[in-house]
Amino acid sequence: MTATVRLTEALISRASATPEDAGCQDLLASHLQPLGFECTTLTFGPESAPVINLWAIKRGKGHASGAPTLVFAGHTDVVPTGPLENWTSPPFTPSYRDGMLYGRGAADMKTSLAAMVVACEEFVAQHPDHAGSIAFLLTSDEEGPSIDGTVKVCEWLQQRGERLDACIVGEPTSVKQVGDMIKNGRRGSLSGKLRVKGVQGHIAYPHLAKNPIHLAAPALAELATITWDAGNDHFPPTSWQMSNIHAGTGANNVIPGELVVDFNFRFSTESTPEGLQSRLEDVLRQHGLDFQIDWTLGGRPFLTRRGPLVDAMAAAIKDVTGLDTELSTTGGTSDGRFIAQICPQVVEFGPVNASIHKIDEHVAVADIEPLKNIYRQTLERLLK
C-alpha cells in the first residue's frame, strides 16, 4: 500500500459530511508541517457551527524576488451519504472491490487531497531548495453554502497582501481515465426568484381577478427562446433555465394572487450579470408584468488560457499517462470561481468523476499513483 493510498484511506475514514471537517485538515497539516509549511487554521461563520479552513504555505528560495507561488486548493467536506442501507459497504469505511476504493469522498475529493500532499512530500525531499512557494487552501464549506469557506479565505489573503500566481483545484475532472480532462475555466452562475403579482379571486369570476399564471406565461415562453449570447472558443452559449414554478392555494377554484419562478443563468464570458439582469427585466416590463426579482450571483465565469500552469500540467499528464489532455469549461461551479478573483491562473484537475455524489462512490486504485505523479511533475515544471 502506497503512502497516497494510506492517506486517502485515513481521510475517507473521517465522517466529514458538510460542513464538518472531522479532523481532516489537522491530519493534512500534520503531514505538511514537517516539510516546513506554516499552517494557519481560519474559522468563519456562526459560533454554533463554524466553518474550518486551512491556509498552509512553504516559502521557497527566491520567493521575495518574484518566484511564483503555486497553490493546491480543495475541500475536506463531502456530501451526505444518502440511505446507509443502499451502500454496499459503510461509506466512511474504506473498502476495496474489483480494483476500486469505495467510500464517501473517494472521488470528490479526498484522493486528490492525499495525492497533493504526498506529491509535495516527494517534491520537497527531492528539491529542498526549490524556487517559489507552495501553498494549500482547504475548506470544509464547498459542498454546502460556500459562504464561510474559500471565499472568506481569499478575502483574508487579500488583506494580508499574499500573492498567488497559480492554483490547482483538486476537483474530479477526468471523464474516462485519469488525465483526459482539465477544467481551465467555469461558467458563471446567476440565479433569480421571480414573483409575478396578480389578484386572487374566485375562478368562476375571472373578470374580478388577475391570474399571474396567464399573465406571465407569454413572457416565460419568450425568455426560454432568447439567445443570450453565442459563447466563444472556450464556453458554450449562455443558458437560461427555470427550475421551479409555484402558484395557487391548492384549491381548484381559486385564481392565485402570485406566481413564483426560480431560474438560473449559466453564463459565459460573453455576458455580464448586469447585462443579463437588465435584458430579462426588460422582457418582463414589455409584457406589462407587476414583478419583483431577488437576484443571487453564485459566481462569475473564469478562464485560464494556455500558459505556464496549463502547459506544465498538460506536459505532466502526457508524461505520466501518455494522454493529450482536453481543456474544458463544462460543468457546474467550484471554489475556483473565488480563487480566480485573486489568482491569474486557476485550473481544476482530479480523478474520474463518474461516481461523485452517488451511492458507492469510488476511485480506481490504479489511478491514485498516476494522479499523485501528475501533481508532483507539475510542481517540478513550475518550481524546480
Of 121, 142, 143, 367, catalytic: 142
d(CA 23, CA 177): 30
User: Can 142 be counted among the known catalytic residues?
Assistant: yes
Nearest to 241 by CA among 227, 258, 223: 223
* H/E element, 7: helix 3-12
- Burial class from Cβ neighbours inside 10 Å (0-12, 13-18, 19+) for residue 197 reads middle
User: Can 361 be counted among the known catalytic residues?
Assistant: no
Cα 197 to the chain's mean position, in Å? 35
Tell which phi-psi region holds residue 23, choosing left (phi > 0), alpha (psi between -120 and 50) or beta.
Answer: left
* H/E element, 363: strand 362-364
Contact 367, 201 (CB under 8 A): no
Of 9, 20, 21, 77, catalytic: 77
d(CA 312, CA 310): 6
* H/E element, 232: none
Query: Among all residues, which ones are annotated catalytic?
Result: 77, 142
